[in-house]
Amino acid sequence: MASVTSLTDLVQQRLASALSATLPEAADADPLLRRSDRADFQANGILALAKKAKANPRELATQVVSHLVTGDVIKDIEVSGPGFLNVTIADRAIVENLAARYADPDRLGVPFAENPGTTVIDYAQPNVAKEMHVGHLRSAVIGDSVVQLLEFTGETVVRRHHIGDWGTQFGMLIQYLDEHPHELDHKDAQVTGEEAMSNLGRLYKAARKHFDSDEEFKTRARRRVVDLQAGDPHTLAMWQKFVDESKIYFFSVFEKLDMEIRDPDIVGESGYNDMLDETCRLLEESGVAVESDGALCVFFDDIKGPDGNKVPLIVRKSDGGYGYAATDLSAIRDRVFNLKANTLLYVVDARQSLHFKMVFETARRADWLNDDVTAVQLAFGTVLGSDGKPFKTREGETVRLVDLLDEAIDRASAVVREKAQDLSEAEIAERGAQVGIGAVKYADLSTSANRDYKFDLDQMVSLNGDTSVYLQYAYARIGSILRKAGEVRPSAHPELELAPAERALGLHVDAFAEAVAEAAAEYAPHKMTAYLYQLASLYTSFYDKCPVLKAETPEQVENRLFLCDVTARTLHQGMALLGIRTPERL
């Protein structure tokens, strides 16, 4: 299916050629076209051009208008104010554009990006043998949406779940399990995520207790870390048990989140173990890293501690051990040289920004990153409780992600049940999950990622306002109208005159492609939520003002059904790009 040129782009092209006909040196100038309340679009670019050409802006604008082709797409154009151009689109052009989108149900006429590349995205990276918390929620939800957005624009996306599966705590866990071999056994073959996690949690607590109280155990545990990093087979096998047990739990949480995480994409810190020595050697040989107090370090002029001394990135500790930085630097080499990425994207808490700043700068000095390969941290803010402080339980503990999701599903099920007319219990449960998880995802995605946001379930599942539930209901309502229409099918009638609410809705549907392009290019799912919320609002005012099934003529009924359906498809596609379901009935 061919992509559809949006009305904005068409007008933009027309204006550009009229501009260059008027003022040849302005051939590449941006007419600064925007949607406007006064007309359909307003172009403000003439002012700056006139200033540059030392011309009278109103006169220049008038000349541009005289060079402009009108009568098909552009119904009317007039000069206003100091030299603005107000553009009105022909009704026929709006309906024809939407009809072309409608004929392409898979992509709604959205073009692919001009120069797609390969992006490796690092997201959804919980830690082995630990509970997942709200921070892990954000990385997973934002990352998943960015994956969908990028893939929709034609980018090749490689997913990497950089789970925390390496490090000193494993010595303690492995040693304890070795001494208490049955602690991870399951009663039956069907192990649930919760059971897996409660086993791990119990074991972690017991191991910790031993570690803190028993000096001899502590020594044995420390030796175990060395065995692990040296690749001792028995120790590795024990470690694998922890990883497998944790994965059962991770997968259960991701499933609850209605998110597809694939096993081969889980390449945790341990996956780069074989590269660590070489990473250090390369950095040392190139002089990027130097020895300092026995450790291998990278220094930065602008990164200093409170005492004024430079704070280094430690690539190898003085005891020879490797940490988080060595792993991340090795992962960069893998992603650049083996996976052939052009872009490395990290969806990670803003509190790790200093780490990434140092890691990226180190990689640039080593020429692993350069003009052809860039790295970006898509840093997200903290999830806050209703008190405005980082989200904690009443006892001051970190809130378990599963508990939160279950609560969201409960609340959403109550909302669905209240509204449901003809839904069975099973349907209520299914819709409750789709609404509840959608609400959590939407709330997370609808503020720009770098900002903190308050986790407020009541607000999230509210039917009014900027929530996924509002969008899901708009979608379901359209479905019910289409069902009620029975034999009468949606059909575009470009010959009809449109009401203002129809025009506003139509122009916004046509702008979907731009919203996708912008959200993808800026890694900004919140631009997609804003687009969709406005779409649902414009639909609501259309629905209030323009009777659909009771419209005046049969053609108008069909045309309005068509507007309904193309809106529904756009809502559905846009929500899918956020990882949110749109149930047919609610």
Q: Which residues contribute to the site for ligand ARG (CB under 6 A)?
A: 122, 125, 127, 162, 164, 328, 346, 348
Structural element, H or E, at residue 543: helix 525-545
Q: Which is nearer to ligand ARG, 348 or 536 (CB)?
A: 348
Residue 356: CB minimum distance to ligand ARG, A: 8
Q: How far apart are CA 238 and CA 233, in angstroms?
A: 9
Q: How far apart are CA 313 and CA 296, in angstroms?
A: 9
Q: Which is nearer to ligand ARG, 8 or 125 (CB)?
A: 125
Structural element, H or E, at residue 273: none
Q: Which is nearer to ligand ARG, 127 or 145 (CB)?
A: 127
The answer to whether 428 and 420 have CB atoms below 8 angstroms apart is yes
Q: Which is nearer to ligand ARG, 336 or 460 (CB)?
A: 336
Residue 198: CB minimum distance to ligand ARG, A: 20
Closest by CA to 579, choosing from 412, 443, 394, 450, is 443
Instruction: Identify the three-state secondary structure at position 346.
Output: strand
Q: Which is nearer to ligand ARG, 203 or 267 (CB)?
A: 267
Q: Which residue bears the tokens 């040289």?
A: 337
Q: How many CB atoms lie within 10 A of CB 220?
A: 18
Q: Spell 10-41 as b/e; 16+ CB within 10 A means b.
A: bbbebbbebbbebbeebeebebbbeeeeebbb
Q: Which is nearer to ligand ARG, 126 or 432 (CB)?
A: 126
507: its two tokens: 């122009």
- What is the sign of the dihedral through the CA atoms of 328, 333, 338 and 343? positive
Burial (CB < 10 A; 0-12, 13-18, 19+), residue 218, is: middle
Q: Which residue bears the tokens 């507007």?
A: 563
Q: Which is nearer to ligand ARG, 129 or 348 (CB)?
A: 348
Helix, strand, coil content of the chain in percent (nearest 5): 55, 10, 35
Residue 495: CB minimum distance to ligand ARG, A: 56
Q: How far apart are CA 236 and CA 243, in angstroms?
A: 10
Q: How many CB atoms lie within 10 A of CB 43?
A: 25
Residue 126: CB minimum distance to ligand ARG, A: 6
Residue 306: CB minimum distance to ligand ARG, A: 24
Q: Which is nearer to ligand ARG, 49 or 261 (CB)?
A: 261
Residue 348: CB minimum distance to ligand ARG, A: 5
- What is the sign of the dihedral through the CA atoms of 339, 341, 344 and 345? negative
Q: Which is nearer to ligand ARG, 348 or 496 (CB)?
A: 348
Q: How far apart are CA 312 and CA 292, in angstroms?
A: 9
Residue 166: CB minimum distance to ligand ARG, A: 10
Q: Rg of the chain over CA atoms, in angstroms?
A: 29
Residue 227: CB minimum distance to ligand ARG, A: 23
Q: Residue 54 contacts by C-beta under 8 Å, 6 or more apart in sequence?
A: none
Closest by CA to 149, choosing from 523, 533, 529, is 523
DSSP 211-259: HHH-HHHHHHHHHHHHHHHHT-HHHHHHHHHHHHHHHHHHHHHHHHTT-
Q: Which is nearer to ligand ARG, 346 or 533 (CB)?
A: 346
Angle at 566 between CA 434 and CA 480, to 5 degrees: 55
Residue 237: CB minimum distance to ligand ARG, A: 23
37: its two tokens: 């309340």
Residue 366: CB minimum distance to ligand ARG, A: 17
Residue 296: CB minimum distance to ligand ARG, A: 19
- What is the sign of the dihedral through the CA atoms of 239, 242, 248 and 252? negative
Residue 328: CB minimum distance to ligand ARG, A: 5
Q: Which is nearer to ligand ARG, 8 or 377 (CB)?
A: 377
DSSP 475-535: HHHHHHHHHHTTTPPP---TTSPPPHHHHHHHHHHHTHHHHHHHHHHTT-HHHHHHHHHHH
Q: Which is nearer to ligand ARG, 91 or 328 (CB)?
A: 328
Q: Which is nearer to ligand ARG, 41 or 272 (CB)?
A: 272
Residue 376: CB minimum distance to ligand ARG, A: 13
Residue 204: CB minimum distance to ligand ARG, A: 16
Q: How far apart are CA 60 and CA 46, in angstroms?
A: 7
Residue 128: CB minimum distance to ligand ARG, A: 9
Q: Which is nearer to ligand ARG, 125 or 434 (CB)?
A: 125
Q: Which is nearer to ligand ARG, 127 or 472 (CB)?
A: 127
